[in-house]
Copies of this chain bind each other. A is one copy, B any other.
Amino acid sequence: MHNIAAFQAPKRLLMGPGPSDVAPSVLQAMSLPLVGHLDPVFVRMMEEIKAMLRQVFLTQNEMTFPVSGTGSAGMEFCFVNLIEPGDEVVVGVNGVFGGRMADVAARCGAKVHKVEAPWGRIIEPRQIAEALKTTRPKLVAIVHAETSTGALTPVEEISRLARDAGALMVLDTVTSLGGCPVKTDAWGIDAVYSATQKCLSCPPGLSPVSFSPRAMDVAAKRKTKAQSWYLDVNLLASYWGQERVYHHTAPISMNYALHEALRLVLASAPGKSFFAERRFGKNGTGPRLARRPSALATQCRERSHGRGRGQGPPAPVE
C-alpha cells in the first residue's frame, strides 16, 4: 500500500468544458519555493494580484481578490455575504450553473424566484423585467456564459433592470472572464465571481471575485453574521486589505500560478491602453477568440448568443 508510485501526468490537449491548457511558466510558478502567508513578499504579491484582477474585471472595486476555493466557492461567497434569511432573489436558470445558483441561494435562506430558459438559450431581459413586476428582490443573479451549453447572456440591460428595481446585480463569469469582455463597472455589476481554470488559463483552485462598494455596504450592515466563516467578506476584507489581519492560510502556490497567469492575460495584446479592447478588439469579440480554442471555442461561443435569440438551438458541449 505504501509503495504507491509517483504520479505520472499524461500530456492532454484540454478543449472540453473543464480546465484549460496552461502556459509552462504558470506551471513552473507553482514549483517556486514556498513562503509564509504573511511574508512581506507574499503580501506584495497579493497586492499585485488584486491590481491585475481589477484590470481583468474592468473594475475599480477595492474588494477584488481570489477566494481560496474553486469557482463554486466564489459563487457561494457572493450569496452567503449578500443574502439574509427571508430575502427574495431572482435567479436566471438556463443551464447547470444557474440551477446551482438557485440551490446555493436557497441554502442561504432566500426565497428564490427562478427565471428559466431552455438549455442553450439565453435569459432575455424581458423575462427579468417580467419577474421584477411581481417581486422586489434583494438581488438578481445570472450566468454570463453557461459552461454547460455555451450560451452567452448579454448582461448590460438585465443589470440596468436590476438596479432600477433597487436590487444588487450578481454575475457568474466562470467561463467568460478573460475570454469575453466582462465590464464589471460599466455594466453596474455588484458581485462577480469567476474561476482560474477557464479563460485565465491557470489550474483550478482559486475563484477571483469582486464586490462593489454597494455590495460591501450590504455585507457590512447585515443583521446576522454570514453563515460561512470561511467566506465572510467582512473578515476577508481585513486579510486582503491593508490591515492584514490573519484569517486563513492562503493557498500560496496557487496564488503564484494566478499571478503568472494574470501577467500573461494582461500581456496578451500589449501596446494598447484598455484591456478589453486590447484583448477582444473594439467590437468585443476580437481575434483572441479563434486563437484560444481550448476555452473559448467550446465554452464561450459568442454565436450561441445569436442562436439563443431564436435562430435554432446550439449543440450543448456537455
Contact = CB atoms under 8 A, between A and B. Distances in A.
Interface string A222-260: 000111111000000000000000011111111011011
B9 A36 contact: no
B38 A27 contact: no
A272 to B, nearest CB: 10
Contact of A254 (B29, B71, B251): B251
A250 B203 CA distance: 10
Given A4-B263, A103-B229, A270-B2, A9 B70 contact: no
Contacts of A252: 19, 197, 203-205
Contacts of A35: 9-10, 12, 14
A229 B104 contact: yes
B108 A72 contact: no
A73 to B, nearest CB: 5
A11 interface: yes
B41 A10 contact: yes
A37 B48 CA distance: 29
Contacts of A225: 106-107
Interface residues of A, number: 77
A37 B12 CA distance: 12
A25 interface: yes
Nearest to A269: B2
Interface string A7-37: 1011110101011011001011111111111
Given A9-B32, A260-B6, A260-B7, A37 B204 contact: yes
A9 B33 CA distance: 6
A139 interface: no
A121 B227 CA distance: 30
Nearest to A249: B204
Interface string A116-128: 0000000000000
B228 A2 contact: no
Interface string A189-218: 000000101000001110000000000000
Given A27-B30, A253-B257, 8 more contacts: A3-B267, A6-B25, A9-B41, A19-B37, A72-B248, A76-B229, A103-B229, A203-B251
Counting from the closest, the 7 A-B pairs by CB-CB distance are A205-B251, A9-B32, A30-B30, A2-B266, A27-B31, A203-B253, A18-B36
Interface of A: 1-4, 6-7, 9-12, 14, 16, 18-19, 21-22, 25, 27-39, 41, 45, 48, 51-52, 55, 68-73, 76, 100, 103-104, 106-108, 195, 197, 203-205, 225-230, 247-254, 256-257, 259-260, 263, 266-267, 270, 275
